Amino acid sequence: MTEPLHIVGGGMAGSEAAWQAANAGIPVILHEMRPKVETFAHRTGDLAEMVCSNSFRSDDDEQNAVGLLHWEMRAANGLIMQTADRHRLPAGGALAVDRDPFAADVTAQLKAHPNVTVSYEEIAELPETGHWIFATGPLTSPSLAEAIAAVTGTGALAFFDAIAPIVYAESIDMSKAWLQSRYDKGETEEERTAYINCPMTKEQHEAFIDALLASDKAEFHEGETAGYFDGCLPIEVMAERGRETLRHGPMKPVGLTNPHDPENKPYAVVQLRRDNKLGTLYNIVGFQTKMKYGAQTNVFRMIPGLEEARFARLGGIHRNTFLNSPTLLDGEMRLKARPNIRFAGQITGVEGYVESAAMGLLAGRLAVAEIMGGHVPAVPQTTAMGALVTHITGGAEAKTFQPMNVNFGLFPPLEGMRGGRRGRKDRYKGYTDRAKADWQGWLDAQEAVIA
């Protein structure tokens, strides 16, 4: 008899992983602690409960990376996408669902599957034997979090996001900004030019502080507390402590010379640090924030050089347990310290329902191949799936690793395509055409292995 696959966590990732494995003929035991063990965010004991938005975001598979991920999941017979399509609500170009019927439908399908057993209990240890996928999400129980930390090291598991906004490099105006590390530190030219610097005059700084203080802020949810964040205060809190606080913190102008205006020292400087190995994404250093998304866009575009910035993600601070995956997971999402265990979903450092479900789908298929004694090639980084899994398992900078949504900045550039805003439509179509062909090729290879 085939050895079972144990999946811990019945959210988007765990539900999708269970579906993929069960459909391949693998017996699955899906362990879900709810409703016996509650969380502050969930209301029911249903699998795949949507605790925040009811939207899976854009469904455009030609011009949007999230829509492309939808397409790839549908091509792989994904449970979450199939069920979402059945419970779709009008939402323009987005895929929004009627959340309660959606979760009830996912639960019913998994419970009806002959290869799936749903077991309602808390798993509080990392087993040393057997095949396991842990997809416990941002609300991993304290006892399991302690077990993960004991195996991986206490510094490898974060319990809160302190996320700085991430900007597409191509949208930064380099006629105003420049590349330089403070005091030109570094042994190589790459290290000496590791930061993008955006200078401010005193007047620009004062206007920026005014806008920051007046901006709309999000409130902490029940179960969260601002007391956790003394080591990474939101920039608006720093500004409230004094108008010069940021200028002596993340916006200090020391050790930098503006080559566009070398005779005048900037009053303040906003720095952006490379966020991925491709150099297509940069995060705004020290700019974690509780500003609402619309306010962030308006305020950050006041920074010289970022007037037309496009954001791969905006900033935030909230409860979210996640691994430092680039240091802990191998390319097949296995825990290096205990390879019988895979991690999937939001705990790996992806952000969003779609991304979580996608990593569950991938973990399920990789586990199936391993259980059946086969081996599949690496998922092409040219696909949305591959771009995400490459990012979390090594493409991101481990020292600054934070949860990430799928976006075209994670994809290898296309040769011969026009850059910048004007070439974006053709470039994005090129990304999605390439991804669809490569993803179908990978699916065919994976299915041949398990046939």
Instruction: Name the binding residues for FAD.
Output: 9-14
Tally of CB atoms within 10 A around 394? 15
Q: Any idea what DSSP says for residue 96?
A: E
Q: Any idea what DSSP says for residue 190?
A: H
- Cα–Cα distances (Å) from 443 to 277, 369, 439, in that order, read 26, 12, 6
Q: Classify the phi-psi angles of 184: left when phi > 0, otherwise alpha if psi is within -120 to 50, otherwise beta.
A: left
Peptide bond into 27 cis (omega under 30): no
Whether residue 323 contacts residue 338, with contact meaning beta carbons closer than 8 Å, is answered with no
Give CA–CA dist 367/206, Å, rounded.
55
Whether residue 204 contacts residue 306, with contact meaning beta carbons closer than 8 Å, is answered with no
Tally of CB atoms within 10 A around 375? 11
Tokens of 397: 């900078």
Give CA–CA dist 332/339, Å, rounded.
10
Binding-site residues from annotation: 9-14
Give the closest residue to 277 by CA, choosing from 165, 198, 194: 194
Give CA–CA dist 321/324, Å, rounded.
10
CB-based burial, 67-83: b 16+ in 10 Å, e otherwise: bbbbbbbeebebbbbeb
In this structure, which amino acid lies at residue 325? Answer: S
3-class DSSP state of 69: helix
Whether residue 275 contacts residue 396, with contact meaning beta carbons closer than 8 Å, is answered with yes
- Partners of 390 in beta bridges: none
User: Which distant-in-sequence residues (6+ apart) come within 8 Å of 108 by Cβ?
Assistant: none
Give CA–CA dist 205/210, Å, rounded.
9
| Half-sphere exposure in the Cβ direction for 165 (13 Å, CA) | 27
3-class DSSP state of 25: coil
Give CA–CA dist 133/148, Å, rounded.
13
Tokens of 182: 């403070």
